[in-house]
Amino acid sequence: MTQKHLVKLNLARNCLRYIIRVYQIKEIHMPYYICPAVWQAVRNENCFIKFYHIDKNFYPVTKFKPDDFILYPNYFGICAKNILKLNNQYKNLIVDNAHNFFMPDFGLASFNSLRKIFNVKDGAFLNISKLSTEIFPKSNHFYEIDNEETYENFCKNELRLNKESIKLISEYTENLFKNINLEKEKQKRIEIFNKIHTKLKNTNKIELQLSTLDVPFVYPYLTYDKNFNKNLEKDGVLLLRYWEALPESFPEYEFYKYLIPIPLNTNVLNSKSIF
């Protein structure tokens, strides 16, 4: 197996840009169901995107060619089984672990996101066997972020980050990261997920079963109950939409329309809508 290098960058989307540059990727397969910031990053590198659909288990329905470059997101941190399966079939698999910082490295390259999992403002770790010869500046991490936790502020911050070029992780975040108890964070996520699952598994339209490599980002609850998300918000639970609107004819439209990503925080444990 080729030795992998750990490259510490500012953002997960910029890890993908780094990969595209290093391997001179001209065309890549990506799912329709993904954060628009990711395909915008790919287009910033003048790389052509071939979109693919996924099924109810978040697995690609497309059969790729052996040499195709394929980006696969570890949806909600619970798709380790899919990654292992794809890794055995395609040598140019690129794994987006933005939703599971703890997932081991598989594929041609993989990357995660510190800021999506921990209370830091930047940071993403890239595992890759080929290094760039470019010199990248360090991030200063001081983005103009309003700390009030609202959906509007989340969107504003994402728009700001779209303008961020490839940079190295900030020293500030690196120092903060050293003091994070990773095992504690990991177990907390699994425990809250399991508590929610005990309450909602019988009504969840998605069949969920964690593997030993899965560390969930949220609890993905697929429900046709129109009032459930409103009740959660009344309980003080901030809900984010994943992701942009998709055509109703797409199989993934159901995820966009009905999937409620329940955050795994202690605030949720006080929700009367679940417990």
| Burial of 138 from C-beta contacts in 10 A (0-12 / 13-18 / 19+) | middle
Q: Which two tokens stand for residue 200?
A: 């909602």
What is the H or E stretch that residue 51 is in? strand 48-52
- The structure tokens listed for 35 are 């954060």
242 pLDDT band (50/70/90 cuts)?
Answer: confident
1 contacts: CB under 8 Å, gap ≥ 6: none
Between CA 252 and CA 267 the distance in angstroms is 29
> Phi/psi of residue 130, each to 5°?
-120, 130
H or E element, residue 9: strand 5-9
Model confidence at 239, in pLDDT bands (50, 70, 90)?
A: confident
Taking each helix axis from N to C terminus, what angle separates 12-22 and 36-44, rounded to the nearest 10 degrees?
30
Q: What is the pLDDT of residue 149?
A: 54
pTM: 0.94
Domains of the chain are 5-178 (3.40.640.10), 182-270 (3.90.1150.10)
Question: What's residue 150's pLDDT?
Answer: 54
pLDDT value of residue 245: 83
Q: What is the mean pLDDT of the chain?
A: 92
Q: CA 22 to CA 16: how far, in whole Å?
A: 10
- pLDDT one-digit tens code per residue, 187-218: 999 999 999 999 999 999 999 999 999 999 99
54 by DSSP, 3-state: which?
A: strand
| Predicted confidence (pLDDT) per residue in 106-137, tens digit | 999 999 999 999 988 899 999 999 999 999 99
Lowest mean pLDDT among 23-27, 56-60, 140-144: 140-144
